């Protein structure tokens, strides 16, 4: 009995030693996340907005091709993107049923008026008609010929030709389509005379003025160029619900008509502030936050973001200059998780 009592303290100590080992193993098994961090930087920020649009022919570099009368598109000779010379056929048309009837009537009227004028001249030579009657017949013949010519098509149809050398764009008709008189079928853009047409929120458009700096980026080639805004149109497009801004594209900028563009506008003067890499900013149900790292531990920190500029974004509250924020691996973190920086 005395031996059993003497062993009890040793067993208790052994039990305590065993429990401490489990805690050490648990500590060793705590997850450690690998992350990359970047410091919060103090510097200049600006109120910028990003706008999108495309390159189009400038006001003096675009020529429109319109249907002279109601017609049927017989054949597309030069589709969009085709380089054409002055006088080259772009679209061939044939008269619609209505136009064919009008052409036939106008031709008959012109023939009748010409015959009447010739008869009047013969009768005047015989002394049977006055000069005034001959003049009336001549005017009627001229009018009838003008009506026939103004129809714009002959019974055999005709072609719409490029008035200048350029590139065909905006052609959306197909063979067999019926088009109304005066309908625009295509435009001819003169190379080297391009402008940027960008859509912008109507409220922001009120803060933009001619001469304001604009950085243009070609989404196709990646080239960029700084140009001034040449004009602002506050009228809202019914399809996009956006206003428009324009800028002349300088020669040598590798972009063609119809190619997509992105623009960046600085709306206000620059001011000092704090910025972080955009990749550090996370969102939870519309609430922005970042993970800061202190002492090898990640802390979830709510922030109020401001304007973005390139790959950085302004932070209005929640951080101090020099804080470390997680830029890679943040989506796998929890508040209080141990981390190791790569």
Residue 60 clears pLDDT 80, i.e. is over it:
no
Which of 22-26, 29-33, 323-327 tops mean pLDDT? 323-327
Tell me, letter by letter, the H, E, C secondary structure of the chain: CHHHHHHHHHHHHHHHHHHHHHHHHHHHHCCEEEEEEEECEEEEECCEEEEEEEEEECCCCEEEEECCCCEEEEEECCCCCCEECCCCEEEEEEECHHHHHHHHHHHHHHHHHHHHHHHHHHHHHCCCCCHHHHHHHHHHHHHHHHHHHHCCCECCEEEEECCCCEEEECCCCCCCCEECCCCEEEEEECCCCEEEEEEECHHHHCCCCCCCEEEEEECCCCCEEEEECCEEECCCCCCCCCEEEEEEECCCCCCCCCCEEEEEEECCCCEEEEEEEHHHCEEECCEEEEEEEECCEEEEEECEEEEEECCEEEEEECCCCCCEEEEECHHHCCCCCEEEEC
Confidence at residue 10, expressed as pLDDT on a 0 to 100 scale? 39
The predicted-structure confidence for 179-188, as pLDDT tens digits, reads as follows 998 899 998 8
Distance CA 166, CA 88 (A): 10
Residue percentage of the chain with pLDDT more than 70: 85
pLDDT at 309: 64
The structure tokens listed for 164 are: 């200048």
Average pLDDT over residues 89-107: 87
CATH entry 3.90.1170.50 includes domain 50-59+189-266: no
* pLDDT at 297 > cutoff 70: yes
pLDDT band for position 105 (cuts 50, 70, 90): confident
- Local confidence band at 286 (pLDDT 50, 70, 90 cut-offs): confident
CATH of 32-47+270-341, one of 2.40.50.100, 3.90.1170.50, 2.40.420.20, 3.20.20.70: 2.40.420.20
pLDDT interval class at 251 (50, 70, 90): confident
Q: Where are the domains of the chain?
A: 32-47+270-341, 50-59+189-266, 68-182
Q: What pLDDT does 54 receive?
A: 92
Q: Which residue has the higher pLDDT, 148 or 285?
A: 285
Task: State the average pLDDT over residues 205-214.
Answer: 89
Indicate the burial class of 311 (C-beta count within 10 angstroms; 0-12, 13-18, 19 or more): exposed
Mean pLDDT across 287-313:
87
Mean pLDDT of 164-181: 89
At 9 the pLDDT is 46
Structure tokens given for 51? 């706008």
């Amino acid at each position: 009995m005395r031996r059993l009592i003497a062993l009890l303290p040793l067993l208790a100590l052994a039990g305590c030693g065993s429990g401490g080992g489990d805690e050490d193993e648990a500590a060793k098994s705590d997850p450690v996340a690998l992350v990359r961090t970047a410091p919060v930087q103090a510097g200049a920020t600006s109120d910028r907005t990003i706008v999108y649009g495309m390159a189009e022919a400038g006001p003096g570099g675009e020529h429109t091709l319109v249907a002279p009368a109601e017609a049927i598109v017989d054949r597309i000779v030069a589709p969009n993107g085709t380089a054409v010379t002055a006088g080259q056929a772009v679209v061939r048309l044939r008269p619609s049923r209505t136009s064919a009837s009008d052409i036939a009537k106008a031709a008959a009227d012109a023939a009748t008026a010409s015959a009447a004028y010739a008869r009047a001249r013969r009768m005047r030579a015989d002394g049977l008609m006055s000069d005034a009657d001959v003049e009336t017949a001549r005017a009627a013949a001229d009018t009838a010929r003008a009506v026939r010519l103004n129809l714009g098509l002959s019974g055999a149809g005709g072609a719409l030709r490029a008035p200048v050398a350029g590139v065909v764009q905006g052609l959306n008709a197909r063979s067999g389509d019926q088009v109304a008189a005066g309908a625009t079928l295509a435009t001819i853009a003169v190379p080297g005379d391009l402008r940027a047409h960008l859509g912008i929120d109507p409220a922001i458009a009120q803060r933009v003025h001619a001469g304001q700096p604009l950085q243009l980026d070609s989404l196709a080639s990646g080239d960029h160029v700084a140009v001034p805004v040449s004009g602002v149109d506050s009228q809202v497009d019914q399809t996009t619900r956006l206003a428009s801004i324009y800028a002349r594209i300088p020669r040598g900028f590798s972009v063609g008509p119809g190619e997509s563009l992105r623009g960046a506008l600085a709306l206000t003067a620059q001011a000092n502030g704090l910025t972080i890499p955009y990749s550090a900013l996370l969102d939870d149900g519309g609430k922005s936050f970042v993970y800061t790292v202190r002492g090898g531990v990640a802390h979830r920190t709510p922030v109020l973001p401001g304007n973005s500029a390139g790959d950085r974004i302004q932070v209005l509250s929640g951080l101090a200059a020099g804080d470390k924020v997680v830029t890679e691996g943040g989506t796998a973190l929890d508040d209080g998780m141990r981390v190791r920086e790569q």
